[in-house]
Amino acid sequence: MRKYLLAATAAALIAPAAHAGTNVATDWFSITYRTYHGILRPGSPWVPNSTPSNATAPVDGTPQPEQTQWNNGSFWWDEGAPEATAPMFWELQLNKKYAINQLLVQADNNDTYRVDYWNGSAWAPIFNVGAVAGFGLMTRDSGVFAPIFTDRFRFQATGGDLYYSLGQFQAIGTVPEPASWAMLIAGFSLVGAASRRRRVSVSA
């Protein structure tokens, strides 16, 4: 589906999916990304109504109204811009590990994205964010899945029109109980994997 410069004013706004649990993504330590976000290619028609790209907008806990223009109030980038010499990524480091069992991602509707999580030794996929009907920023719900234990996520585009954005990233979860941690550590020991934290910093 193509982007449209003007959304139909009669279109109903779609509320984010209901969920049970706590959005732990607001408990973040650092965010890392490439430098060319917020730059449009020469002659792009998306200058009107755009706002500066904001890397912390996805974790402020307040989604934009559904069908907001893709580059308004979001972290956005144009991989068709001359400055885009490598694919963009947006990486979130939390203050501690959580048990996560659901993700809510508000992103540009007509593109596809992938969310990976750090499993202690490598990045692993957890949510393929599909394209949906509508306009601009639209929320997709992963549904409830078996809990993963992590303190780090990576978001990146996998296909579309090269105009990409992330309006909101919510990770629904809890701090694991001590017994859960004991089981997790035992499982890592059996497969010979060791969990480790990596400190990352915000990049300009």
Quick one: average pLDDT of 35-51?
97
> Does residue 1 lie in a domain region?
no
Cβ atoms of 155 and 89 closer than 8 Å: yes
Instruction: Tell me the average pLDDT across 16-27.
Output: 74
pLDDT digits (tens, 9 = 90+) for 73-104: 999 999 999 999 999 999 999 999 999 999 99
DSSP 74: S
Identify the domain containing residue 139 by its residue range: 22-191
pLDDT grade for 188, boundaries at 50, 70 and 90: very low
pLDDT for the residue 175 = 79
CATH of the domain at 40: 2.60.120.260
pLDDT interval class at 21 (50, 70, 90): confident
- Residue 197 inside a domain? The answer is no
Number of domains in the chain: 1
7 belongs to a structural domain: no
Is residue 129 within 8 A of residue 105, CB to CB? The reply is yes
Q: Cα separation of 31 and 59, whole Å? A: 10
Query: Which three-class secondary structure state does DSSP give residue 52?
Result: coil
- Look at the block and give the residue holding tokens 């480790």: 196
Where is average pLDDT lowest: 1-10, 88-97, 102-111, 154-163?
1-10
Find out whether 173 and 98 touch, Cβ atoms under 8 Å: yes
45 occurs within a structural domain: yes
Q: Quick check: is 161 in a domain? A: yes
**30 exposure class (CB count in 10 Å sphere: 0-12, 13-18, 19+):** middle
